[in-house]
Amino acid sequence: MQTPIGIAGVSGYTGVELLRILSAHPHVRVSALSAGASAGKPLDAIWPGFAGLDVPAVEPLDAATLAARCAVVFLALPHSAAPTLVPELLDAGVRVIDLGTRFRLRDPSAYARSYGHPHPCPERLPEAVYGLPEAHRGALRDARLVANPGCYPTATAIAAMPLVESGAVDWIVADCLSGVSGAGRSPGPRNLYCEVQESAVAYHAAGRHRHVAEMEQLLGVPVSFTPHLVPMRRGMLATVTARFKTPTTREALRERFAARYADHPAVTLRDTPPATADVRGTARAHVFVDWDDERGAAVAICAIDNIGKGAAGQAVHNMNLMLGLPETTGLPWLPLLP
């Protein structure tokens, strides 16, 4: 038996990546597609590469329609879009995986500080489970509302969690490189070809990025975070540096990482630093760790696909846990090469 699912926001990169993965998933069927300005258009008018795919028409965002057709709905919408959609779906008995920002922060005041406006439904925050399987796998199995993590927090957390959990780290530095798809599909200076090709830029440095609060909530230590936009379509590379209170060794760090992720199939510990191409198009994370003996610091590097493990792939991973399926079911596991 296949579970009926819906995707709200199929006109964006994350939404269409959800459709790509879920269309091939053996235990679900795509029963509803919706979008904002693109509603009413055939899917192949929005995404010509999906011509011939047997899926529903793209309809306007409507909670009643989604609830009538779906047991699980993925929301791939801007954080300002459809503020009442989640409460309406939950009240109708639908399980929701929100790939936006609304439910990632437990504290509504932290949300207001990060996003510049009050939380639209703070009464729902206690229901949300933060959807990083490597941190909250057990809670995700029974979740009705999943807050899918951001791409930067995902890559940073996978690199940092074994370091922070050692108790030997008071704070971390995270430098992350992101592909241009992280800026979304709407045209602007950050995703125009002539602006980004042959150029890299840091932005929202010195703690100004909205994802800092999300990282610090999960890790429990201060994070000095600098994101960079680099000229590639998809991919993310996070380098986390953490000075230890007491010396350790590369071998001890590798043992710690191996033990931490031994039963988490989406994370692979590498002997050499990973490249973003190694995980392009997948729902996996490749991680590497080393020890800088002269400076008494650990350096951990994590590569993910920002719209794979950093968004849609992780959302489907969470859905598998919610539905009691083997957690890697239907996930893209091998990279798109070359």
Distance CA 214, CA 218 (A): 6
Check if the beta carbon of residue 267 is closer than 8 Å to that of residue 252. Answer: no
Check if the beta carbon of residue 12 is closer than 8 Å to that of residue 184. Answer: yes
Check if the beta carbon of residue 28 is closer than 8 Å to that of residue 4. Answer: yes
Check if the beta carbon of residue 67 is closer than 8 Å to that of residue 89. Answer: yes
Pairing assessment for the beta strands 297-304 and 236-243 based on DSSP bridges:
antiparallel
User: Of 151, 176, 194, 302, which residue is the catalytic one?
Assistant: 151
Sequence-distant (6+) residues with CB within 8 A of 207 are 224, 225
Sequence-distant (6+) residues with CB within 8 A of 124 are 86, 87, 90, 103, 145
Sequence-distant (6+) residues with CB within 8 A of 123 are none
* Strand ranges of the sheet holding 285-292, from the earlier edge strand across to the other edge: 201-202, 223-229, 172-178, 236-243, 297-304, 285-292, 267-269
Instruction: For residue 176, indicate whether it is catalytic.
Output: no
Distance CA 131, CA 318 (A): 6
Distance CA 301, CA 159 (A): 6
Residues noted as catalytic:
151
